[in-house]
A and B are shown apart, each in its own frame.
Chain A
Amino acid sequence: MSDLNKLGLSEARDALRKGDVTSVELTESCLKAIDDADALNAFVHKTPEIALERAQAADVRIKGGDAPSMCGLPIGIKDLFCTKGVPSQAASKILEGFKPEYESTVSQKLADSGAVMLGKLNMDEFAMGSSNETSVYGNAVSPWRRGNDDAQLTPGGSSGGSASAVAADLCLAATGTDTGGSIRQPAAFVGITGIKPTYGRCSRWGIVAFASSLDQAGPMTKNVRDAAIMLEAMCGHDPKDSTSTELAVPNFEAMLTGDIKGKKIGIPKEYRMDGMPAEIEKLWADGAAMLKDAGAEIVDISLPHTKYALPAYYVIAPAEASSNLARYDGVRYGRRAQLGQGDGITEMYEKTRAEGFGHEVQRRVMVGTYVLSAGFYDAYYNRARKVRTLIKKDFEDVFAAGVDAILTPATPSASFGLGEMTEADPVQMYLNDVFTVTVNLAGLPGISVPAGLDAQGLPLGLQLIGRPWDEGDLLNTAYALENAAGFVAKPGKWW
């Protein structure tokens, strides 16, 4: 078999079990693809020794008839996950040289299920960004281009390296994390599938914290079936994360029947934004028509507080970030600034954090500090948390009325050029998450499915939002949409 790196998880799994291919062969194929793709700057710490060691162990397990779900499948891990003995920097200068003495629960679960780690993937610093331009490693680059234009495009963010690596077939799948859209927006930008599960499905233990009440890990994969397989391996109760649910994890793959007859799909009118590109509007209408053809009932719904989701998010997320990032003090791990004669501990903190945090991270930490400061706590932070209650209630009302899933565009535009947003004010960049951020605030599962190309040949995605804890049903609806959309486009190799 050639081009083994181009396989998806389920294809590779079946080939492994049939004995058509070994994990070592799969892994070597990916390692070669990674070495050929430095121009994408997706893998920022390569771990070929670990990969080959795990691949050999996986081949032994498969031969012995003991092959768990991800056995022998080579994947990439976002740099936000702590991986034992391997640099885990959250793409920040302040964590330069940090090698955790422990493994995150999610990456451990994946390893236990036999997955092979190829290396760590680029991302926005501390997962703060929508274009992978805030990384200390430099920009991750999308494998996609606008026709013959050789301008470099963003793979989205914050899980930009994961998106680029999966779309360019450097790995079979990758982990991502999603605080406001960081799995679903990059997945949409590069034409792959990405799911953020219900808050509490995946343990957050060992994942560098950004906004703890919003952060969730999830898989970024080449298709919906692969997302089902990998999500199941990632989730489950973990006593080390007090918000992790004790619910049993279903066999998500077994729920992919493609039958959505009688399902009620809501189309929220508030997501029809002023100035929405006609292509996005058409994609959305086409998606609704596809689900209808597959037997679903399409209903108009209202989520009245949608407009306030982004402003609420930009209070709550920075507030939690300012608290979470207080730990980077130059004392216990990472990088300490060079101190001058007579500098005391306060100068050490201030210089370390000024040098170690990039511009966007500093800005969010300070906004968070401000909204939590005496005199403003009620006006900003508490008000935002009340609005969050109302946003969640919008969804509860719709689900109580019998809606099974909600269909929206994944992003307000296709991928844009790296550097194109440099002059824009920060709020312009924040608008990338306008369709995804509501889902984090309400703690719901959301999935981005590639559904078409724009006039410049760039992928566009649709988002489905499901009931809490009903990822299986959501994946099945996504599977039906995937079957109907028949998205097969791949970027032409230029790197």
Chain B
Amino acid sequence: MSIDQSTAAKVAKLARIKVEDDALPALASEFNTILGFIEQLNEVDVEGVEPMVSVEPMRLKRREDVVTDGSQQDKVLANAPDAREGFFAVPKVVE
């Protein structure tokens, strides 16, 4: 599997990371180095093997369906780069 520049651009888009066009060839080449390394996994016979979900074969615990906290709006917003009137503020989303 070889990654070309347009695939690299697509992956950057999916990851929501802006990559300038002139940086794409180097990025594609790094991806190919790493994927080349990962390709070794194709040598392993994984027929009938279950993919691991968790190292401990356990069902995730469920807590009681009750309110455990809340009323912390000021704390929730304390670290926001732009908070106004009790909300997170972002650029216009809907035209």
List chain A positions with a Cβ less than 8 A from chain B: 97-101, 199-200, 213, 239, 242-243, 245, 305, 307-308, 310-312, 314-315, 322, 326, 329-336, 339, 343-351, 353-354, 357, 362-363, 365-367, 369-371, 373, 379-380, 382-390, 392, 425-427, 430, 442-443
Interface CB pairs A-B, < 8 A, 28: A99-B79, A101-B72, A200-B55, A213-B54, A213-B55, A311-B40, A312-B41, A314-B34, A314-B38, A315-B38, A330-B81, A331-B80, A332-B76, A334-B79, A343-B91, A345-B91, A349-B16, A353-B18, A363-B34, A366-B8, A379-B1, A383-B42, A383-B46, A386-B49, A388-B51, A426-B30, A427-B34, A427-B37
Q: Does B90 contact A (CB under 8 A)?
A: yes
Q: Does B66 contact A (CB under 8 A)?
A: no
- B12 to A366, Cβ gap below 8 A? yes
| Interface SS, B side | loop
CA distance A443 to B53 in the complex (A): 12
Chain A proximity of B19: nearest CB distance (Å): 7
Chain A proximity of B38: nearest CB distance (Å): 5
Contact for A348 among B54, B80, B91, CB less than 8 A: B91
Q: Does B52 contact A (CB under 8 A)?
A: yes
Residues of B with C-beta under 8 A to A427:
33-34, 37
- A370 to B44, Cβ gap below 8 A? no
**Given A199-B55, A239-B63, A388-B52; A332-B15 close (CB under 8 Å):** no
Q: How many pairs, one residue from A and one from B, have CB atoms within 8 Å of each other in the complex?
A: 161
Residues of A with C-beta under 8 A to B1:
379
Contact for B15 among A330, A348, A369, CB less than 8 A: A369
Contact for A389 among B34, B38, B52, CB less than 8 A: B52
CA distance A385 to B51 in the complex (A): 5
- B15 to A336, Cβ gap below 8 A? no
Residues of A with C-beta under 8 A to B42:
383
CA distance A370 to B12 in the complex (A): 9
Contact for A390 among B31, B49, B76, CB less than 8 A: B49
Most buried by A among B35, B38, B42, B91: B38
- B52 to A426, Cβ gap below 8 A? no
- B90 to A367, Cβ gap below 8 A? no
- A384 to B41, Cβ gap below 8 A? yes
Q: Does B92 contact A (CB under 8 A)?
A: yes
Q: Does B84 contact A (CB under 8 A)?
A: no
Residues of A with C-beta under 8 A to B39:
311
Residues of B with C-beta under 8 A to A308:
40-41, 43-44
Chain A proximity of B64: nearest CB distance (Å): 10
Contact for B79 among A98, A386, A392, CB less than 8 A: A98
CA distance A199 to B55 in the complex (A): 8
CA distance A350 to B18 in the complex (A): 5
The chain B residue with its CB closest to the CB of A383 is: B41
Q: Does B67 contact A (CB under 8 A)?
A: no
The chain B residue with its CB closest to the CB of A239 is: B63
